[in-house]
A and B are shown apart, each in its own frame.
Chain A
Amino acid sequence: DVKVTQSSRYLVKRTGEKVFLECVQDMDHENMFWYRQDPGLGLRLIYFSYDVKMKEKGDIPEGYSVSREKKERFSLILESASTNQTSMYLCASSPEMAGGFYEQYFGPGTRLTVT
């Protein structure tokens, strides 16, 4: 079974702190993704990576950065946390295969509260 793990289920940080959210997958997937999930807004893509050291902005990258130094690990960084970044953060991974008919596998999520 594919396993995607996230470093914390719940996290509370103060405004202005630098926050690291870690995601690890064990299936040698090329693609990794970070989403935030908010009620009434669904999932919105923050950043994704299709290879080590490669990244692309998603729909809402402002205030976030990412790092992918190893294939299995994808980190989301909030350089200076703000209250409007309080949200559920979901990591996902997927293989890169011809045709595109592949699913994304999700981690359990990190509920981040910024006070």
Chain B
Amino acid sequence: AQTVTQSQPEMSVQEAETVTLSCTYDTSESDYYLFWYKQPPSRQMILVIRQEAYKQQNATENRFSVNFQKAAKSFSLKISDSQLGDAAMYFCAARGTASKLTFGTGTRLQVTL
């Protein structure tokens, strides 16, 4: 079983700036996977980025990257060159060998001009 904690209910960033969303997790499994999902206002949840726990290299997808600190059980999301379209709820999630995901409580990101 996993637990996922997002300690920042809301964050704000100016357009073109960089923001980091925090996530910590706990798991009893040695093989697990970590995800960040984005839920724009009134739109469907979509995957932003994912990380396999056995890979030390941090995942990157265009302007999105993670800082995966396995010993600290930390999995933060960095958004570079923030855009208005990045405004959304962001959920951190974890999965072990079973198919089900465990989600954090979410961080609402506002992007200002």
Contacts and interface: CB of A to CB of B under 8 A. Distances in A.
A35 to B, nearest CB: 8
B105 interface: yes
- Specify which of A92, A106, A107 lies most central, judged by the most chain B CB atoms within 10 Å of its CB: A106
B52 interface: yes
A45 interface: yes
Interface residues of A, number: 25
Most buried by B among A96, A107, A109: A109
Residue in A48, A101, A108 whose Cβ sees the most chain B Cβ within 10 Å: A101
Interface of A: 4, 31, 33, 35, 40-45, 48, 50, 58, 90, 92, 94, 96, 100-101, 103-104, 106-109
Interface in B45-92: 45-47, 50, 52, 91
A103 B103 contact: no
B44 interface: yes
Contacts of A94: 99
Given A100-B31, A107-B44, A42 B99 contact: no
Nearest to A95: B99
Nearest to A43: B103
A26 B104 CA distance: 28
Contacts of B97: 100
Contacts of B95: 100
Given A100-B31, A100-B33, A42 B47 contact: no
B52 to A, nearest CB: 6
29 contacts: A31-B99, A35-B103, A40-B9, A40-B105, A41-B105, A42-B103, A42-B104, A42-B105, A43-B101, A43-B103, A44-B103, A45-B100, A48-B99, A48-B100, A50-B99, A90-B45, A96-B99, A100-B31, A100-B33, A100-B97, A100-B99, A101-B50, A103-B35, A103-B47, A103-B50, A104-B101, A106-B44, A106-B45, A106-B46
